[in-house]
Amino acid sequence: MGRKVGIEVSIAISEAVKLANADVVAAYPITPQTHIVEHLAELVASGELDAEYIPVESEHSAMSACLGAAATGARAFTATAGQGLELMHEVLYVASSMQLPVVMVVANRALSAPINVWGDHSDMMAVRDTGWVQIVVENGQEAVDNVLCAFCIGEDKRVLLPVMVHIDGFHLTHVVEPIVLPDQADVDDFIPPNEYPLPLDPARPVTMGSFGPPVIYPEIKKRQDVVLRESKEVILENWQRFGEAFGRYYHPVEQYRAEGAKTLLMTMGSTSETAMDAVDRMRDQGMSVGLLKLRLWRPFPFEELLQAVRDADLLVVVDRAISFGGPAGPFCSEVKAALYNQDKKPKVMGFVAGLGGRDIPVGGFEAMVHRGMEIAEKGGGEILETYGVRE
Amino acid sequence: MSTSDEELTWREIEVGAIFTVPGTTADYQTGDWRSQAPSYNFDRCIKCGICQLYCPEGCVGQDEDGYFIADLYWCKGCGICARECPTGVITMVEETE
Amino acid sequence: MQNYTVFVPRLVPKKEPFAPGHRACIGCGEALAVRLACKAFPPNTIVANATGCMEVISSQYPMTAWRVPWIHVLFENTAAIASGIEAALKAMARKGLRPDDGTKVVAMGGDGGTSDIGLQALSGALERGHDLLYICFDNEAYMNTGIQRSSATPFGASTTTSPSGIKSIGQKTWKKNMAAIAAAHDIPYVATASHSYPHDLMAKVAKGIAVPGPAYIHILSVCPTGWRSAPDLSIRLGRLAVETGVFPLYEIEDGEYKMSLELPKLRPVEDYLNLQGRFRHLSEDTIKEIQERVVAEYERIKEKTG
């Protein structure tokens, strides 16, 4: 059933890629993702992972090489962060449109300028419309488990889409945690062989990536959207299968002491662990506060969200990214949009916090909940409410 | 996948919009772009095949007597064959309606 | 060499991996160059194609001119796509996931996709030593978007973004020497070729594919639309580019330069320039400047052939 080891999360992720037996790894160094690709290079150099390691000259080429590999039928992996993800941006759209199931770990990082290597969700939010499956995790174990699931989800014939697993830069990438690394035999049973249906193969010549004029472009885009939406069933199926095989279960919207709570904090990623402590404290003070942690960012889990908030009066959504000049943080905006047409819906208060690696302490979540309750009750509040920014 | 693109619904599109049938442009008529067509005087033809070699369309084939001749379904009438023919077999003549 | 061309066309492979019905302009030299290159492919060849004329004219949904496995992804990343394909073939053959059938990888792009926006990815692929052939089909401007200048546009050429005018001679810079840039990566094979010398072109493509490691071939491809030349002159213009020394044909094998064609005497550049509208505005002085540069460059390459 695996072995529990004290291991840096980045190293554990590389071990998961080894367990998944990737064929091609294309990588370019960028903090805070570097430990992942460094360790993968070591695993290839030592022969522990039989893969071609392509030390590309940019992230744009890292993603491109992965697409070439996936189109040939290989299992391809890369990792990046922040500016690297932005440099890949246009390639990301093509990956999903051409249905090439690459798996990528994104060590979420703030975007320049000023240059900042620490974690926030600016990079993840900037790529939310690129058509990838996006899974967000809050600790090392979840990262390992979801990298394994990502291969199953992406390569499933009903999906054939690229998958990002988002881990917060530094808060996850550089910490040592006790993590269960599954046994190879169990992983082999769990991940089916990658059988891309129409690979580049001289025996059966295909044309990939054709020119799509107006007469066909909308049909191709509609199909792509439907495939991504319907991938949720396959994601749920694989999380269930993973749970049965390894005993750890994942859900699109994770709940913590949320049952019956009148106020729900909503978070994504590593800060969720701090938010849980905040919820414990507030519960101890007799407040009716719970926590929702969004695990599945794309496809967005509309049904699960509605179900999770049905008893709440107030949602306090914490974004680690700004939508400059926009309605709120991107996470908050989407939650609001998802609820807008519901007859019975909670009020939604959004906060932006934790930019560029700034810590959000336990008290910070408490403060945001109190401020959210205050605005909800009395009205007012800023268009963009921030927490922890010096005035 | 050689159905007319105006008829395809989103449900009929292949994984990744990939085409599985090779070389389907062969069904596409580019001959109607033409304003002039090659005309042949095979008396001078040495069957060297230069016209076939230099055709950007790859539309020059051989008839049963071995003479090289452009398939007007694809021939766009560029006149390269006429210009390059070493023995002056080909002249380009204006197309008439 | 020209005599040779006359008498052996019948020995050229009949196969047409690049099918007719493509939508290239009338008299397109690049479509011809692609067609000829494809004839030289071994049976197991995968093509990665950059955005540009050839991608647009060959793959309009739902039709394809390709009879070989073909992929287009973006403009600037084709060498990286090809790198991924090559790596996948290697890994999958080693792991028994796909037969070890000697499948070859050819990447192709235009001069913009190669010498401008795709240069970084190309340099990476050449430097890493992937076993692939990269072919640049150089029509000397961004023709697909409407004849904008690239770094491969020749000095003096008028394009839509280097127009000639009272204060402009047209393109103010000399053509970027891509073959030399490729050769600077110390790759085993670099060559220049022209569609007007089909046997030479096909032999070079075959060699570039066969040689282990990266190979680069730069093919001058006449564009009647962008060069403002008569469509029927495409072959003649390709030949004149070579005979004037404007575009010398040579190979660089393991660093050794070799001229592909012995030219006892170069023709004057006017023979080449005068047939093209893009050079129509050039003054005698500018033509003289071009003539001197062409001769000097030609001599420089010839010297390298020792």
Q: Which of B29, B69, B76 to mutate to test the interface with C (most CBs of C within 10 A)?
A: B76
Average pLDDT over residues A143-150: 98
Alpha-carbon distances of C138 from A257, B58, C48, C218, rounded to whole Å: 65, 20, 16, 7
- Per the CB < 8 A criterion, the answer to whether C120 and C138 are in contact is no
pLDDT given at position C29: 98
pLDDT given at position A382: 87
Give the residue numbers spanning the domain of B76. 29-94
The pair of three-digit structure tokens given for residue C131, joined into one six-digit string: 């076993």
Over residues C70-127, the pLDDT tens digits come to 999 999 999 999 999 999 999 999 999 999 999 999 999 999 999 999 999 999 999 9
| Set of chain B residues whose Cβ sits within 8 Å of the Cβ of C40 | none
CATH code for the domain in which residue B61 is found: 3.30.70.20
Kindly state whether residues A203 and A283 are assigned to the same domain: no
pLDDT given at position B2: 47
Could you tell me the maximum CA-CA distance found in chain B, to the nearest angstrom? 56
CB pairs under 8 A between A and C: 169
Count of C-beta atoms within a 10 Å radius of residue A96:
24
Q: Let me know if C26 is exposed, middle or buried by CB neighbors in 10 A (0-12, 13-18, 19+).
A: buried
Give me the amino acid identity at A49: L
Cis amide leading into C20 (omega within 30): no
pLDDT band at B4 (very low <50, low <70, confident <90, very high): low
CB pairs under 8 A between B and C: 123
> Is A388 in the C-facing interface, judged by CB distances under 8 Å?
no
The pair of three-digit structure tokens given for residue A286, joined into one six-digit string: 């007799």
Over residues A291-313, the pLDDT tens digits come to 999 999 999 999 999 999 999 99
Residue B74, in any domain of the structure = yes
Kindly state whether residues A196 and A259 are assigned to the same domain: no
From the list B13, B15, B22, the residue facing A219 with the nearest CB is: B13
pLDDT given at position B48: 92
Residues 6+ apart with CB under 8 A from A356: A110, A116, A118, A120
| Set of chain C residues whose Cβ sits within 8 Å of the Cβ of A206 | 69-70
Residues 83-112 of C with CB under 8 A from A: 83-92, 94-95, 97-98, 101, 103
CATH code for the domain in which residue A140 is found: 3.40.50.970
| Set of chain B residues whose Cβ sits within 8 Å of the Cβ of A198 | 14-16, 18, 20
- Per the CB < 8 A criterion, the answer to whether C234 and C224 are in contact is yes
pLDDT given at position A54: 98
Q: Which of B75, B78, B87 to mutate to test the interface with C (most CBs of C within 10 A)?
A: B78
Of residues A384 and C246, the one with the higher pLDDT is C246
**Residue with token string 């004219």:** C57
Interchain contact, A216 vs B19, CB within 8 Å: no
The pair of three-digit structure tokens given for residue A11, joined into one six-digit string: 């190293």
Q: How far is A215 from chain C (nearest CA, A)?
A: 9
Over residues A112-127, the pLDDT tens digits come to 999 999 999 999 999 9
CA closest to A207 among chain B residues:
B19
B-contacting chains (≥3 CB pairs under 8 Å)? A, C
The SS3 of residue A363 is helix
Total domains in the fold of chain A: 2
pLDDT given at position A114: 98
Total domains in the fold of chain C: 1
Among residues of chain C, what percentage have pLDDT more than 70?
A: 97
From the list C21, C36, C231, the residue facing B26 with the nearest CB is: C21
Interchain contact, C121 vs A71, CB within 8 Å: no
DSSP of A128-170: TTSS-EEEE-SSHHHHHHHHHHHHHHHHSTTT---EEEEEETT
Kindly state whether residues A137 and A279 are assigned to the same domain: no
| Set of chain A residues whose Cβ sits within 8 Å of the Cβ of C76 | 60
Average pLDDT over residues A147-175: 98
| Set of chain B residues whose Cβ sits within 8 Å of the Cβ of A99 | 15-16
Residue A175, in any domain of the structure = yes
CATH code for the domain in which residue C292 is found: 3.40.50.970
Kindly state whether residues A149 and A281 are assigned to the same domain: no
The SS3 of residue A103 is strand
pLDDT at A1 > cutoff 80:
no
| Set of chain B residues whose Cβ sits within 8 Å of the Cβ of C36 | 53
From the list C35, C64, C198, the residue facing B25 with the nearest CB is: C64
Interchain contact, B13 vs A220, CB within 8 Å: yes
Please list the alpha-helical segments (H only) found in chain A.
9-19, 34-45, 59-72, 82-87, 89-97, 122-126, 140-155, 184-190, 217-246, 271-284, 302-308, 330-339, 362-378
Total domains in the fold of chain B: 1
| Set of chain B residues whose Cβ sits within 8 Å of the Cβ of A204 | 20
pLDDT band at C8 (very low <50, low <70, confident <90, very high): low
Give me the amino acid identity at A139: N
| Set of chain A residues whose Cβ sits within 8 Å of the Cβ of C83 | 26, 54, 56, 61, 64-65, 68
Count of C-beta atoms within a 10 Å radius of residue A244:
10
Average pLDDT over residues A281-288: 98
Residues 81-110 of A with CB under 8 A from C: 90-91, 94, 98
Kindly state whether residues A153 and A298 are assigned to the same domain: no
> Is B16 in the A-facing interface, judged by CB distances under 8 Å?
yes
Kindly state whether residues A229 and A295 are assigned to the same domain: no
- Per the CB < 8 A criterion, the answer to whether A365 and A318 are in contact is yes
Give the residue numbers spanning the domain of A363. 253-386
The pair of three-digit structure tokens given for residue A121, joined into one six-digit string: 């969700």
| Set of chain C residues whose Cβ sits within 8 Å of the Cβ of A52 | 87-88, 90-91
Strand B90-94 to strand A314-319: parallel, antiparallel, or no bridges (unpaired)?
unpaired
Kindly state whether residues A53 and A168 are assigned to the same domain: yes
**Residue with token string 């800060």:** A271
Give me the amino acid identity at C195: H
Q: Which of B9, B18, B20 to mutate to test the interface with A (most CBs of A within 10 A)?
A: B18
Could you tell me the maximum CA-CA distance found in chain A, to the nearest angstrom? 70
Residue A388's H or E segment, with its range, is: none
pLDDT band at C1 (very low <50, low <70, confident <90, very high): very low
- N residues, chain B: 97
- Per the CB < 8 A criterion, the answer to whether A212 and A45 are in contact is no
Residue A391, in any domain of the structure = no
Strand C189-194 to strand C250-253: parallel, antiparallel, or no bridges (unpaired)?
antiparallel
pLDDT given at position B6: 74
Domain boundary among A246, A262, A281: A246
Q: Which of B3, B7, B9, B10 to mutate to test the interface with A (most CBs of A within 10 A)?
A: B10
What's the alpha-carbon Rg for chain C, to the nearest Å? 19
Kindly state whether residues A233 and A287 are assigned to the same domain: no
Kindly state whether residues A228 and A264 are assigned to the same domain: no
pLDDT given at position B1: 44
Supply angle C-alpha C31, C33, C35, rounded to 5: 70
Of residues C1 and C223, the one with the higher pLDDT is C223
Distance of CA C241 to the CA centre of its chain: 13
From the list A97, A198, A216, the residue facing B8 with the nearest CB is: A216
Give the residue numbers spanning the domain of C40. 2-304
Kindly state whether residues A17 and A119 are assigned to the same domain: yes
Q: How far apart are CA A319 and CA A28, in angstroms?
A: 28
Over residues C132-171, the pLDDT tens digits come to 999 999 999 999 999 999 999 999 999 999 999 999 999 9
- Per the CB < 8 A criterion, the answer to whether A260 and A340 are in contact is no
Handedness of CA C35, C36, C42, C45 (dihedral sign): negative
Low-confidence winner among A127-141, A328-342, C8-22, C113-127 (lowest mean pLDDT) = C8-22
pLDDT band at C11 (very low <50, low <70, confident <90, very high): confident
pLDDT given at position C61: 87
Q: How far apart are CA A74 and CA A202, in angstroms?
A: 16
Kindly state whether residues A239 and A262 are assigned to the same domain: no
Kindly state whether residues A296 and A178 are assigned to the same domain: no
Q: How far apart are CA C246 and CA C190, in angstroms?
A: 18
The SS3 of residue B41 is coil
Handedness of CA A43, A49, A50, A56 (dihedral sign): negative
Alpha-carbon distances of C116 from A9, A229, C121, C150, rounded to whole Å: 39, 38, 10, 7
Over residues C38-55, the pLDDT tens digits come to 999 999 999 999 999 999
